[in-house]
Amino acid sequence: MKKTPIQIRFTDLDIFGHVNNAIYAELFDTARYAFIKELIPDMDPKGKSVVLVHLETNFRKQILFTDKVYVETGIVKVGDRSIGMFQRMVNGDGSVHADSYGVLSTYDAVRQESFPMPEEWRGKFESVKEAQ
């Protein structure tokens, strides 16, 4: 799994002083983008790329402003036109704040439709796929 450090911003906090639940999706998205960009650097969001089509999140423990968190990201499934990704938001002490499962679909922004996954992408996604 790839680890992405996350910076908690003051604007991420709610009235209770912890990171608002709605922000978790943004934090997972930040790590997901870094993961994909590192794996396939020439992916073009104005051409052929992947888009998030499904997201599930389990909230386990609040995140405070002073917490040092990172997101672990890995691929658990590679399909004909999609990939399944598992992510976990973890504190420096190893405790899990949240976990998430997302599905990304191939997407052609010009044609505005999904397309069969290129073999080059499939190979890269399969190379980092987590054992189940």
Q: Mean pLDDT for each consecutive 10-residue tract of the chain (132 residues)? A: 92 93 94 94 92 96 94 96 97 95 96 96 91 56
The reported pLDDT for the residue numbered 115 is 96
* CA–CA gap between residue 82 and residue 51 (Å, rounded): 9
* CA–CA gap between residue 84 and residue 89 (Å, rounded): 17
The reported pLDDT for the residue numbered 120 is 94
Helices of type H across 45-108: none
The reported pLDDT for the residue numbered 131 is 63
What distances in angstroms separate CA 78 from CA 30, 91, 101, 106, one per listed residue? 21, 28, 13, 11
Size of the chain in residues: 132
Please give the domain boundaries of the chain with CATH numbers for all domains: 2-127 (3.10.129.10)
